[in-house]
Chains A and B, each alone.
Chain A
Amino acid sequence: MPAITVENLSKSYVVGHNTAQTERYTALRDVLARNARNLARKTRDMVHGRAIVQGDEVEEFWALKDVSFEVKRGETLGIIGRNGAGKSTLLKVLSRITEPTKGRITIRGRVASLLEVGTGFHPELTGRENMFLNGAILGMTRAEIRRRFDEIVAFAEVERFLDTPVKRYSSGMYVRLAFAVAAHLEPEILVVDEVLAVGDAQFQKKCLGKMGDVAKEGRTVLFVSHNMEAVTNLCQSAILLTQGRNQEKGEAKGAVYNYLSTLSLSSLTSNGQFCRERTKPEAAIIITRVMLVDGDAPGVRFDLSKEIRLRISYQVCKPVRGGFLGFQVKTVLGLPIFTSTNADVAGALGDNVVSGELDAVVHYGEADVKIPAYQLNVGAYELHVAAFAPGRGLLDLMADIFFDVYDSGSFASYPFTSARQGVVLLRTPWIIHKTKRID
Chain B
Amino acid sequence: MTEPQVLIIEPGLAERDYWRDLWRYRELFYVLAWRDISVRYKQTIIGLAWALLRPFLTMLVFTVVFGKLAKLPTEGAAPYALMVFAGLLPWQFFSTALSESSNSLIGNANLISKVYFPRLIVPTAAVVVSFVDFLISFAILVGLMLWYQFVPGWPILTLPLFVLMAFLASLGPGLWITALNVKYRDFRYIIPFIVQIGLYVSPVGFSTSVVPDRWRLLYSLNPVVGVIDGFRWAILGGESTLYLPGFLLGWCVIVFFLWLGIRQFRGMEKSFADLI
Interface, chain A (partner B; CB < 8 A): 13, 46, 51-52, 92-111, 113, 115-116, 119-120, 122, 124-125, 129, 132-133, 136-139, 141-142, 188
Contacts and interface: CB of A to CB of B under 8 A. Distances in A.
Interface of B: 4-12, 25, 27-28, 30-32, 35, 38-39, 42-43, 110-117, 183-184, 270-271, 273-275
Contacts of B9: 93-94, 96, 99-100, 104-107
Nearest to B29: A136
A100 B111 contact: no
A132 B30 CA distance: 11
A164 to B, nearest CB: 13
A104 B11 CA distance: 8
B29 to A, nearest CB: 9
Contact of B6 (A99, A107, A139): A107
A13 B35 contact: no
B38 A129 contact: yes
29 contacts: A46-B184, A51-B274, A52-B183, A94-B9, A96-B9, A97-B112, A98-B273, A99-B9, A104-B8, A104-B9, A105-B9, A106-B6, A107-B8, A108-B5, A108-B6, A109-B5, A110-B4, A111-B7, A119-B115, A120-B111, A122-B35, A124-B39, A125-B35, A129-B35, A129-B38, A132-B31, A133-B31, A137-B31, A139-B117
Given A46-B184, A99-B11, A188-B4, A116 B27 contact: no
Given A99-B270, A136-B27, A188-B4, 14 more contacts: A92-B273, A94-B9, A96-B7, A100-B9, A100-B10, A105-B9, A108-B7, A124-B39, A125-B35, A129-B35, A132-B31, A136-B28, A136-B31, A137-B111
A219 B111 CA distance: 25
B270 A98 contact: yes
A401 to B, nearest CB: 34
Given A107-B6, A129-B38, A120 B275 contact: no
Contacts of A122: 35, 39
Nearest to A130: B35
A51 B113 CA distance: 17
Contacts of A104: 8-10
Contacts of B35: 122, 125, 129, 133
A93 B8 CA distance: 11
Contacts of B10: 100, 103-105
Contacts, number: 104
A134 to B, nearest CB: 9
B73 to A, nearest CB: 46
Given A105-B8, A116-B114, A51 B183 contact: yes
Nearest to B269: A99
B11 A102 contact: yes
A109 B4 contact: yes
Contact of B27 (A92, A107, A124, A142): A142
B273 A107 contact: no
Contacts of B183: 51-52
B172 to A, nearest CB: 20
Contact of A97 (B7, B30, B31, B116): B116
A330 to B, nearest CB: 30
A13 B4 contact: no
Interchain residue pairs A-B with the least CB separation, the first 9: A136-B31, A109-B4, A96-B116, A105-B9, A99-B270, A98-B273, A107-B7, A119-B114, A97-B273
Contacts of A113: 115-116
Contacts of B110: 119-120
B107 to A, nearest CB: 12
A335 B152 CA distance: 74
A213 B4 CA distance: 22
B271 to A, nearest CB: 7
B114 A97 contact: yes
A412 to B, nearest CB: 40
A133 B111 CA distance: 12
B28 A13 contact: no
- Counting chain A CB atoms within 10 Å of each CB, which of B43, B110, B112, B116 scores highest? B116
A104 B8 CA distance: 7
Contacts of A139: 25, 28, 117
B38 A99 contact: no
A13 B114 contact: no
Contacts of B116: 95-97, 113
A370 to B, nearest CB: 48
A238 B6 CA distance: 24
A90 to B, nearest CB: 12
A132 B32 CA distance: 10
Nearest to A143: B27
A107 B273 CA distance: 20
A141 B4 contact: no
Contacts of B117: 137, 139
Nearest to B10: A104
Contacts of A110: 4-5
A111 B21 CA distance: 13
Nearest to A89: B274
A136 B31 CA distance: 7
Nearest to A9: B9
A97 to B, nearest CB: 5
A105 B27 CA distance: 27
A99 B5 CA distance: 20
A149 to B, nearest CB: 15
Nearest to B42: A124
Contacts of A138: 115
Contact of A99 (B7, B31, B112, B271): B271
B169 to A, nearest CB: 26
Given A100-B10, A133-B35, A52 B184 contact: yes
A340 B261 CA distance: 65
Contacts of A119: 110-111, 114-115
Nearest to A92: B273
A265 B35 CA distance: 50
A139 to B, nearest CB: 8
Nearest to B4: A109
A70 to B, nearest CB: 15
Contacts of A141: 27
Nearest to A116: B114
Contacts of B6: 106-108
